[in-house]
Amino acid sequence: MITVRTAIVIASFLSLFGCATQSHSSSDADFSGDYLSGELHAQTLYDILSAELAGKAEDYRYSLEKYLSQSQLTKDPGIAKRAVRIAQHLRDTQALTKAATLWIAADPQEAEPHQLLANILINQGKFSDALPHFNHALKLGQHKVLLLLSSQLKNMSKADLLAYIDLLKDSRISEDMQSNKLLTLGLLFNQLKNHQEALDYFNQALILDPDTPTAVYQKAETLKNLSRFTEALQTLDPLLAKNPKDRQYNALQIQLLFSLNRDSQALQKINSLITLTPEDSALHNYLALTALDFNHLSTSRAIFENQLQKNPDNTTLYFYLGIIAERSNDFNLAIKNYLQVDSGNNLLQAHTRAVSLHTDAADKSKVEKISAELILSNPTAKTTYLLMLADWLKKFKFTSEAIDILSAQLKIEPQNTDLLYARAMYLEPLNFAAAEQDFQKVLEITPDNPIVLNAFGYTLTLHTNRYQEALALIEKALALSPKDPATIDSMGWVLYKLQRFEEAVSYLSKAFALYNDPEVASHLIAALAGMQQYEEAKQLLLKISTSHPDSIFIEQARKFLEK
């Protein structure tokens, strides 16, 4: 009996002699019979022949389609593996996922498809879905998944990090993988900011393999996070002795020297590295930022200005020069630098800072001119710049003009929810009926917007006695955003308004623990007073009077307590 595995070899051989042509379709011949796992079927041979011929003609899509189809029908690992290779060649993630899944179904003990699926799912941020495949790959000896996981830690939730920690702790893997396992556990704990436990795992990894540079470096980083700077520097020294030009090691050494107040050594090291690496712009920028972090403004400025001379088109550098000028209290220069940023991730932040540095109502015409110029040069960001201008106007009591600007743009973009929401918030203290119309329109367009649901619900408690309606809105917002302190505060406040004081205290205590804010504190004081817990309310009033002596909510809280 000829097996399905053999068919691929036969097809490849026959295709060399032109024994089949791609122009035939499966309907040209009468194929019959049931598919038996591992056994050659006429349709299978035909499809594999046509797939191989298609591959010879570089029609890989057709070839992939046939191999995927036969993988499903025959459940043969050899055909599934072939489909995987073609999908890899085409860089088709969707097809590769399907092919790897079929390969696993055909041969669950094969390590590679589990690793492939784990890789795909981890790269897609589907860490929970990747977990079983990650586990299988580990058990079957594929340690590469550890490296991939380590590269994606910043994208993982706390729950995902804990799940992978539990899996790795319980996993039984070969001796040669133990060091990598311990290293990965250390990285997972570092991501959770549990640095002491991370350090324990790095030390264990180094006992097994003392010369692993990654483990040594991570140990030094972790000691730095624990503020054990001298130990970190001592740990790093052997790495630098072997790799004196390694940018990562040098960067960490400079940070540690600054942290130990050995600033002159750190600055000397920065100057030495810049001299040794005249063309390494990325390193120079990093060194400039490090100097900026430790407030060595002149060193940072000199590096950025030198970089700007070499690459004048890199206007992102002006953002950092703006920060340096701002810290030096040269606000005019800071504004000038910020406004020269015309691209990059810091574009909007730079322009926002430029506007915010105008700190007098008399600067109104300057701010309006800057905003108009920014809109002209960046028309796709018009909404952002209009909101920025409106926010500045409101801050300096030009609220009616801010509303007029938003209203004018809403005539052009009536469905723009950002503009509608901003106008609603500006109208709320002046004309709640008009604000309510905007809130409702935003929720018609985006009914599951937790920010607007919360804002509308909370303002209902301020301007009306429609507390049940407010409760429904806030409950929905809380279901959509359960950890948001502002929404938790709103829930406590509406419960207070409904005289459900015990529940109100529960929510408001949680909100205050998350966000130490005088307004939240004033709400909690009101709820505590409602429960006749006057002593606790007085203590909280004293606390916020000390921490926020100028807050308008202190007097409000005092009135709640007096009532």
Question: Contact 79/48 with Cβ under 8 angstroms?
Answer: yes
Label residue 110 by pLDDT band (50, 70, 90): confident
Do 417 and 474 lie in one domain? The reply is no
Which region among 19-33, 261-275, 325-339 has the lowest average model confidence (pLDDT)?
Answer: 19-33
As a whole number of Å, the CA-based R_g of the chain is 32
Question: What does the mean pLDDT of the chain come to?
Answer: 87
- Region 409-428 average pLDDT: 97
Question: Contact 148/155 with Cβ under 8 angstroms?
Answer: no
- Report pLDDT for 39: 52
- Region 456-473 average pLDDT: 97
- Region 448-466 average pLDDT: 97
Instruction: Tell me the longest C-alpha to C-alpha distance in the chain.
Output: 99
HEC assignment per residue over 532-563 = CCHHHHHHHHHHHHHHCCCCHHHHHHHHHHHC
**Each residue of 537-557: pLDDT tens digit?**
899 989 988 888 888 888 888
- Report pLDDT for 27: 37
- Report pLDDT for 129: 82
Label residue 499 by pLDDT band (50, 70, 90): very high
The answer as to whether 279 is a domain residue is no
Specify the number of domains making up the chain.
3
- Report pLDDT for 29: 36
Which region among 339-343, 435-439, 449-453, 548-552 has the lowest average model confidence (pLDDT)?
Answer: 548-552
Domain end residue (candidates: 163, 193, 226): 226
Do 524 and 486 lie in one domain? The reply is yes
- Report pLDDT for 115: 78
Q: Which domain holds residue 205?
A: 174-226
Do 391 and 488 lie in one domain? The reply is no
Domain end residue (candidates: 194, 210, 226): 226
| Nearest Cα to Cα of residue 250 among 311, 148, 275, 228 | 275
- Region 75-103 average pLDDT: 86
- Report pLDDT for 93: 87
Distance CA 395, CA 171 (A): 57
- Report pLDDT for 38: 47
**CATH number of the structural domain spanning residue 457:** 1.25.40.10
- Region 251-274 average pLDDT: 95
Domain end residue (candidates: 395, 428, 447): 447
**Each residue of 159-185: pLDDT tens digit?**
888 988 888 887 777 776 788 889 889
The answer as to whether 205 is a domain residue is yes
pTM score of the predicted model: 0.72
Distance CA 333, CA 240 (A): 39
The answer as to whether 393 is a domain residue is yes
- Higher-pLDDT residue of 409, 1: 409
The answer as to whether 406 is a domain residue is yes
- Report pLDDT for 16: 42
